[in-house]
Structure 1
Amino acid sequence: MQYPVPSDTNWSVLPAIGIVGMRNVRISADRHPCGSELADVIDRFWTVRWKVPPGEQGSAVFIGHPETNLVLGSGRVSAYGVQRKRLTVRFSGTGSAFGMAFRPGAALGLLGGTAVQYTDRSRPLAESWGTAEVRRFEEALRAATDTGSRIAVVERHVRARLRMSHGEERDQGLSRVEEIVDMMRDEQSITRVSEVCRHSHLSTRSLQRLFRHYLGISPKWLLRQYRLQTAAARLAAGLPQRWTEIAVDLGYFDESHFARDFTQIVGVTPSSYARNRVRASTAAATAERAA
């Protein structure tokens, strides 16, 4: 699936990779769900391609998902933990990056340690796997000529690391946190941590410990992130709703609290976001007719 955006788009949504805004850059993203027996470890593979006018600079604003990624960029593989704040990435020229997103919490089986060690930061994969093994991994990825070949390389190395770390045994705590994360994502009626505790039969402290170890974030942060991503999707879809209705649907006390959180995470107010989304849609339609 591709998500092309015209180069003159200021604010748009590429929800598959968490992009909520772009300036002076054309970006497309391909996603490939894991179709092997590793689907309980790997959520998806992705490729991002960008193009910036010669001699200029572009940027894109990302908001975080509760996942760790392995990213091949500039010939090196690094592990990127959950980014709790919006992240502005600068682009120039033409290029691409290939990566793999773990299922929530599943990265620890390959990286070791706890998820909080990766929160808001990236670390070279060699710190976890060792220099010699990562060098072979990177060489194989660079030699791969297409996405399918890269996916095969990643899956081969992930299988080997899983056999080395814990064989076929699956961490029961990981299974539990995956269930809770899926529930928080899919059940729009759950808007408070106390409700998560009630549905999962865990105390607040136990839930917080579970999230810190496997995800490196708090349950409260994740709930807010899912709510605001839902809000951004509604605004991007152009649904004729009042801000008050959206705020209430997502569990906010009032419209002002919703607007404050949205602005803090996305970087613009809901009203500005909606207006710019209309402009982006118009520009995209114009570009498609011109093509």
Structure 2
Amino acid sequence: MVRVRQVRTDTRGIVDPGELMRRVSFRRLAAAEPLRRWVEHYWLIDWELAEPFEQHVVPHPSVNIVFQRYAQEPELVELSGIGLELFSQKLEGAGRVAGVQFRPGGFRPFHDAPVSTLTGRRIALPAPEEPLLDNDDDALCGQRLDAYLFGLDPQPDPLADEAMRMVDAIRADRGIRRVEDFAAGQRLSTRGLQRLFAEYVGVSPKWVILRYRIHEAIELASPDVDWGRLAAELGYSDQAHLVRDFSHTLGVSPTAYTRSA
């Protein structure tokens, strides 16, 4: 059985989280108990801005279903596969967004095709008959999200459980650095592990390892951090490799990021 985590309180993946929290109201909610084996959490954002604000996120290896409402426009629903690049969203005026963040590997029971077919894609979905965002009650919104997911009729899948367990291990253990070693520890061939991740997670195990390490680097970035020491702790061969991955992912160097944030 996959371990069910509590709702996360970290800000991993959010670029300059302090600025985001000053601009919007951001909350996370737990899904109904039977759904927590697949769902990381629900997230809600409300804003009312006097001037536009652009937020950047380094995506998790997770599929999201996102419900969006801007001013008086109709509610929009979108299936968002794993984003491979930095995600940017410009917020202006007033609006409300609610999303389901699935656990890495947890969307496959809701989807009848390999999750890799969704990677890098955003797909419009039909809006539910009863809008989710027509009120200011977070608890009611959570109940409607529960009902929406139950209506998709997810089917338990032992391989999805295995994929989620493996991603949890990668996320928690900095010592996991090489795909070949991790596969051997799971009693799988490297190719078998890659096929499992393509089917159930949507990206390769190497991508997951690197993405979680970059998340940690962003979270720990500060003017006083020893980047050489942090690179070693995160499993990089040297500081230059970490700096290169950081700069490629965020579009700015670690020094520039810590100075601006």
Q: TM-score range by the shorter chain?
A: 0.7 to 0.9
Which shifted more, 117-126 or 255-264?
117-126
Give the corresponding residue for 1:286: none
Q: How do 1:52-201 and structure 2 match up within 5 A?
A: 52-53=49-50, 56-74=51-69, 75-126=75-126, 134-136=127-129, 139-162=130-153, 166=155, 170-201=156-187
User: Aligned-pair distance for 1:195?
Assistant: 2.6
User: Aligned-pair distance for 1:125?
Assistant: 2.5
User: Aligned-pair distance for 1:21?
Assistant: 4.1
Is the 8 Å Cα contact of residues 43 and 100 (structure 2) preserved in structure 1? yes
Match for 2:190: what amino acid?
T
- How high is the TM-score relative to the length of structure 2? 0.86
Is the 8 Å Cα contact of residues 21 and 62 (structure 1) preserved in structure 2? no
User: 1-side partners of 2:201 and 2:131: how far apart?
Assistant: 29
Higher helix share: 1
- Residue 234 in structure 1 maps to residue 231 in structure 2: no
Give the corresponding residue for 2:206: 220
Give the corresponding residue for 2:237: 253
Q: How do 1:34-45 and structure 2 match up within 5 A?
A: 34-45=31-42
State how many pairs are aligned.
Answer: 248
> CA deviation digits over 1:54-105, x for unaligned, max 9?
xx43211111101111111130211111101101211211222111111222
> CA deviation digits over 1:1-53, x for unaligned, max 9?
9x9xxxxxxxxxx825x321488982331111335221102210111223432
Match for 1:89: what amino acid?
Q
Give the corresponding residue for 1:9: none
Is the 8 Å Cα contact of residues 29 and 49 (structure 1) preserved in structure 2? yes
> CA deviation digits over 1:197-227, x for unaligned, max 9?
1221211111111111112111111111111
User: Aligned-pair distance for 1:119?
Assistant: 0.8
SS in structure 1 opposite 2:24?
strand
Runs of 5+ unmatched residues, structure 1: 4-13, 127-133, 278-291
- Which of residues 189, 202, 206 in structure 2 aligns to 1:203? 189
Match for 1:148: what amino acid?
A
User: Aligned-pair distance for 1:196?
Assistant: 1.7
- How high is the TM-score relative to the length of structure 1? 0.78
Is the 8 Å Cα contact of residues 66 and 215 (structure 1) preserved in structure 2? yes
Q: Percent identical across equivalent pairs?
A: 28
Which shifted more, 205-214 or 141-150?
141-150
Give the corresponding residue for 1:273: 257
Give the corresponding residue for 1:19: 14
> CA deviation digits over 1:261-282, x for unaligned, max 9?
00111221111222223xxxxx
Match for 1:71: what amino acid?
V
Change (3 A) 1:51 1:267: farther
- Residue 28 in structure 1 maps to residue 25 in structure 2: yes
Is the 8 Å Cα contact of residues 38 and 107 (structure 2) preserved in structure 1? yes
User: 2-side partners of 1:135 and 1:176: how far apart?
Assistant: 31
Give the corresponding residue for 1:10: none
Which of the pair has more CA radius of gyration? Answer: 1
User: 2-side partners of 1:161 and 1:88: how far apart?
Assistant: 29
Runs of 4+ in 1 over 6 A off after TM superposition: 22-25
Match for 1:58: what amino acid?
F
User: 2-side partners of 1:145 and 1:241: how far apart?
Assistant: 41
SS in structure 1 opposite 2:42?
strand
Runs of 5+ unmatched residues, structure 2: 1-6, 70-74
- Which of residues 43, 47, 61 in structure 1 aligns to 2:44? 47
User: Aligned-pair distance for 1:241?
Assistant: 3.4
Q: CA RMSD in A?
A: 2.4
